[in-house]
Amino acid sequence: MDPDLKIELRRQGIFTTTLEELYNWGRKSSVWPLTFGLACCAIEMIATTMARYDLARFGAEVFRPSPRQADLMIVAGTVTKKMAPQVVRLYNQMPEPKYVIAMGACAISGGPFKQGYNVLKGIDRYIPVDVHIPGCPPRPEALMDAFITLQKKIDAQPLTGADRPRHLNADEPSEFVVPQYGAHDLVPAKNPKLWNIITKPTSKECMAGVDESGKD
């Protein structure tokens, strides 16, 4: 439907909608997060749900203690390699449609502990992340901003067509590979279907970077 016509009709007191809009409106207005905190970011997440910031205004106050009832996983904090299989398994156990917010520098990339031998360098190596929030830790406002971004993303998802989301596509998997503890690292170290961005720079490229901007 033509959006201008829709606005004109609404001005005249006639409300028109589509099944897709109703469906997405319902979904985005009741996203239930998983009760799941890993580190200090979880404290900010808790603060976001409390009276001062009140995430309930966006329909997300019902934190479910079981992945079976949750729609959203907020990865709030440092994911250690010991914890990564559990995080992925919990994500796999959530029913579709499911979404992930990577909250804070650690969940995005390992953050200040990136060089640590036991820290996963970003949860998006194993599960598809919808919204990343930088910060260490991000303030509740940042989490709310991420949540509103996610709502906009849900609102724009089409019901049919080639670019429909994963949960409406029978060919796409709803489970992702759960890493195992290896001798030195998790096996596999990443899910290649999700994470194929990193290419190791050659020593020549590294030196070129130093030459250009190395003096500081």
Which value, in Å, is the radius of gyration of the alpha carbons in the chain?
A: 20
Q: Does 66 sit near other proteins (CB under 8 A)? A: yes
Q: Of the listed pieces 43-51, 52-60, 86-94, 106-114, which binds other proteins according to CB under 8 A?
A: 86-94
Binding test (CB under 8 A) with other proteins, winner from 93, 134, 139, 188: 93
Give ∠ CA 208-213-216 in degrees, rounded to 5. 140
Secondary structure (3-state) at 61: coil
Binding mask 140-179 for other proteins (x = CB under 8 A): -------------------xx------xxxx--xxx--x-
Region of 87 on the Ramachandran plot (φ > 0 left; ψ -120 to 50 alpha; else beta) = alpha
Binding test (CB under 8 A) with other proteins, winner from 8, 96, 185, 205: 96
Tokens in use for 186?
């998790």
Give helix 19-28 / helix 140-155 axis angle, nearest 10°: 160
Give the nearer residue to other proteins in terms of CB position, either 92 or 149. 92
Give the nearer residue to other proteins in terms of CB position, either 90 or 189. 90
Number of other residues whose CB lies within 10 A of the CB of residue 140: 19
Q: Does 86 sit near other proteins (CB under 8 A)? A: yes
Which positions lie near other proteins, rule CB under 8 A?
Answer: 66-68, 85-87, 89-90, 92-93, 95-96, 159-160, 167-170, 173-175, 178
